[in-house]
Amino acid sequence: MSERITAGLPADFVWGAATASYQVEGAVHADGRGPSIWDAFCATPGAVAHGHTGETAVDQYNRYAEDVALMRELGLHRYRFSIAWPRVQPHGSGKPNARGFDYYARLIDALLAAGIEPAVTLYHWDLPLALQDSGGWPERDTAYRFAEYAELCYRAFGDRVKSWITLNEPYCSAVLGYLEGVHAPGERDRPRAYRAIHHLMLAHGLALEAFRAGGYDGEIGITLNTQTPCPATQREEDRAAADRAADLQTHMFLDPLMHGSYPERHLAAYPEVSMPIADGDMSVIAKPIDFLGLNWYWEDVAAADPDHPEGFRLCPRYQDVTEMGWPVVPRGFYRHLRRLDELTDGIPIYVTENGCAMPDELSADGTRCRDPRRVAYLRDHLEAMRDAWRDGVNLKGYFVWSFIDNFEWALGYTKRFGIVYCDYVDLRRVPKDSFYFYRDVIAGHE
């Protein structure tokens, strides 16, 4: 018999599950919510698979009580969800919307009544459209607006919420949104994308300062999707290539937090880029966080490529892939956790997302969803995480992505990440086998 997955993890290790507002809430016109860049992006022909939108999503806005009951059945310790900025401040500045705050108060109170702690992400990509109309993240003003919005949230919920995440994956907001154009707002402009990076990091720093200045009790951090690409071979040039392949996704975000600087060699490869740094910005960004959130799904392999501006290319690998085409590499998770521990000097880490999309189907009678590949994925990744903990990584908790199937951004409803199945015809929830597996992990039986 092999040992329990949780063997050796500390008793206060946090077991969680995560979602994000636009991916699950629906009710986009309810109670005075303003439009976000994702509403606009979804309305752009060809932007999202099959023209799907978050208009209904899984309707958590109206069905949160049912979802909280399932979380209780799961034995969940903490639910990570995000606040939709345009719900609580419809135009991104000015007057807050009380009815928007009321929704999150209902959700938070339901969680607490069920013995589940809320973990709140302040920004999971749904920028109020009014702020994009005045320039979006490439504009410095957006960072100030974010700090004001963050403060409204601390004031409303600081008494009940003890775990805050300023931003989710600013890499995706800036690079997918402003450089590659595959996420909202769909721009393709490198200089603007890098301005967005700086203003996102500044927004994080200002929101952190506001939290400290307000004397709120609880912990605050940021969630990144950092990567440690593997070198294709042990040749010196491939090792150097793998190192550089981490610059944009890891160092452009982690270095300002840890050292108050951006990686110079990366910026030097793109002379058209200039970071709009004002006096004092970098020390605001580098203010100590209480924890780092890590979203991790797969590991890249890199080899030297003299034709690339940064001298690397990503290579294929042999492992099975998920429905996203992402290779399943649990040892890569272990490697990255170790590396992150080194890069951050042992900062407390929460895995704020990990999981996979699989070709899930309901049983003929509609009562079960067998997802053995997700169970295997979770088992292998949890073991890798446990090993990283044993080898000294300062891990505080793990959140599976996702609690429930949801709107997978540009891929619409075509990818299912949940441990709860959602039938998009009648919005019925059916716990998958992985739900029962995770319940047993949390209970210490696996």
Q: Which residues bind ligand GCO (CB under 6 A)?
A: 20, 23, 168-169, 172, 225, 295, 353, 401, 408, 417
Residue 321 C-beta: closest distance to ligand GCO, Å: 14
Nearer of residues 216 and 438 to ligand GCO, judged by Cβ? 438
Catalytic residue among 151, 299, 353, 408: 353
Nearer of residues 139 and 408 to ligand GCO, judged by Cβ? 408
- Cα 121 from Cα 216, distance rounded (Å): 16
Residue 408 C-beta: closest distance to ligand GCO, Å: 5
CA separation, residue 183 to residues 29, 220, 276 (Å): 21, 26, 23
Position closest to ligand GCO via CB: 295
Residue 80 C-beta: closest distance to ligand GCO, Å: 10
From the list 331, 151, 125, the residue with the least C-alpha distance to 228 is 331
From the list 10, 2, 3, the residue with the least C-alpha distance to 390 is 10
CA dihedral 423, 427, 431, 432 (to 10 degrees): 20
Residue 169 bears catalytic tag: yes
Do 228 and 292 meet the contact criterion of CB atoms below 8 Å apart? no
Nearer of residues 20 and 184 to ligand GCO, judged by Cβ? 20
Residue 415 C-beta: closest distance to ligand GCO, Å: 7
Pairing of strands 395-401, 14-18: parallel
Residue 225 C-beta: closest distance to ligand GCO, Å: 6
Residue 325 C-beta: closest distance to ligand GCO, Å: 11
Nearer of residues 56 and 93 to ligand GCO, judged by Cβ? 56
Nearer of residues 60 and 295 to ligand GCO, judged by Cβ? 295
Do 314 and 245 meet the contact criterion of CB atoms below 8 Å apart? yes
Residue 403 C-beta: closest distance to ligand GCO, Å: 12
Where in 8-135 does DSSP place strands (E)?
A: 14-18, 78-82, 117-123
Nearer of residues 6 and 223 to ligand GCO, judged by Cβ? 223
Tell me if the bond preceding 86 is cis, omega within 30° of 0: no
Could you say which DSSP state residue 426 is in? T
Residue 121 C-beta: closest distance to ligand GCO, Å: 9
412, with CB counted inside 10 A (0-12, 13-18, 19+), is: middle
The residues near 82 (Cβ < 8 Å, ≥ 6 apart) are: 19, 20, 21, 120, 121, 122, 123, 124, 126, 168
Catalytic residue among 169, 187, 299, 408: 169
Residue type, 287: K
Pull the structure tokens for residue 219. Answer: 């912990």
The residues near 10 (Cβ < 8 Å, ≥ 6 apart) are: none
- Cα 7 from Cα 26, distance rounded (Å): 39
Residue 148 bears catalytic tag: no
Nearer of residues 231 and 418 to ligand GCO, judged by Cβ? 418
Nearer of residues 175 and 210 to ligand GCO, judged by Cβ? 175
- Cα 337 from Cα 387, distance rounded (Å): 10
Q: Label residues 193-225 b or e (16+ Cβ within 10 Å = b).
A: bbbbbbbbbbbbbbbbebbeeeebebbbbbbbb
Give the active site residues. 169, 353
